[in-house]
Amino acid sequence: MDARYRLMGVLNVTPDSFSDGGRFLEPAAAVAQGLELAREGAAIIDVGGESTRPGAEPVGEAEELRRVVPVIEGLRAAGVDAQISIDTSKAAVARAAIDAGASLVNDVSAFRHDPEMAALVAERGVDCCLMHMRGEPRTMQVEPRYDDVVGEVRDFLSQRAEFAIAAGIEPARIILDPGIGFGKAVEHNLALLGRIEELVAIGFPILVGTSRKSFLGRITGRPTDGRVAATVATCVMAFERGATHFRVHDVAPVADALAVAAATVSGRWMTMPMGSTSPRT
């Protein structure tokens, strides 16, 4: 894996996520999938127990804990060669996940949902990803409007980073994310992807989560499992504009694409022995 970018493999332990819901509800199946994502090149495995797809209903804390903790414990017990991230907005879930071995809190509410979250991340010294979202998942896709989407997202992310630092989180532990698909129409997602360098200028690593999302379906006419090539295109373009973290379901094709993109941009590459990567690539 190239040090110029990090892939975050998506591991949703939910019955209703938009593209992989219900596939990894059994802890053993989820752990096997997490190990496979790491083998394919994910530097981070993002374990989530609450779907944030448009229209999704919130999940109770006890249920979210029941879904994610055994999977994180299982990944650790199996010696997974990746950082474990917990995709949650609840401090109690993040706390249990950190106790089980997670060291990154991926909070799609950017610490706005739970007043204890920022202090927890500061106190435990873990990494965090702070994402822009307009509204909440249940209602966010109802006619999203912006005057200047890139400027508004940039200002929001700068403010959330300042909030995190004021709460005692080290700047080096902060990743920012424009929240592709979270309260955004197709043109908003495209503007954010096309002008990522304006978010990079805030001064933190930028994560993008375009994987299989509906705007790619709107452009290509393909269902969720037919959006791999479209996902790859967004990751390559975002990388070229300075994004460093990519949250994806299909790790192997994105890993190949970014290896070639990074080699092309820099003129430097690592020669891989033929046949040394996963057969699925």
* Residues of the shown chain interacting with ligand PMM in the complex, contacts defined by CB under 6 A: 10, 12, 17-19, 48, 51-53, 87, 106, 108, 129, 131, 177, 179-180, 207, 209, 247
Are the CB atoms for 262 and 4 separated by under 8 Å?
Answer: yes
Q: Among residues 65 and 131, whose Cβ is nearest to ligand PMM?
A: 131
Q: Among residues 5 and 18, whose Cβ is nearest to ligand PMM?
A: 18
* Calpha distance 161→176 (Å, rounded): 8
User: Among this protein's residues, is 213 annotated catalytic?
Assistant: yes
Pick left, alpha or beta for residue 104 (phi over 0 → left; psi -120 to 50 → alpha; otherwise beta).
Answer: beta
C-beta nearest to ligand PMM: residue: 209
The amino acid at 35? L
Q: Among residues 179 and 183, whose Cβ is nearest to ligand PMM?
A: 179
User: Among this protein's residues, is 247 annotated catalytic?
Assistant: yes
Are the CB atoms for 89 and 107 separated by under 8 Å?
Answer: yes
Are the CB atoms for 263 and 22 separated by under 8 Å?
Answer: no
Q: Minimum CB separation from ligand PMM for residue 131, in Å?
A: 4
Q: Minimum CB separation from ligand PMM for residue 186, in Å?
A: 15
Contacts by residues 229-236 (CB-CB < 8 Å, ≥ 24 positions apart): 229/253, 232/257, 234/193, 234/208, 234/210, 235/208, 235/210, 236/261
Task: Out of 67, 154, 213, 227, pick the active-site residue.
Answer: 213
Tell me the pairing of strands 245-248 and 83-87: unpaired
Q: Among residues 20 and 263, whose Cβ is nearest to ligand PMM?
A: 20
Q: Among residues 51 and 234, whose Cβ is nearest to ligand PMM?
A: 51
Q: Minimum CB separation from ligand PMM for residue 274, in Å?
A: 33
Crossing angle of helices 91-100 and 61-77, in 10° steps, is 20
Are the CB atoms for 183 and 131 separated by under 8 Å?
Answer: no
Crossing angle of helices 251-266 and 228-240, in 10° steps, is 30
Q: Which residues are catalytic?
A: 213, 247
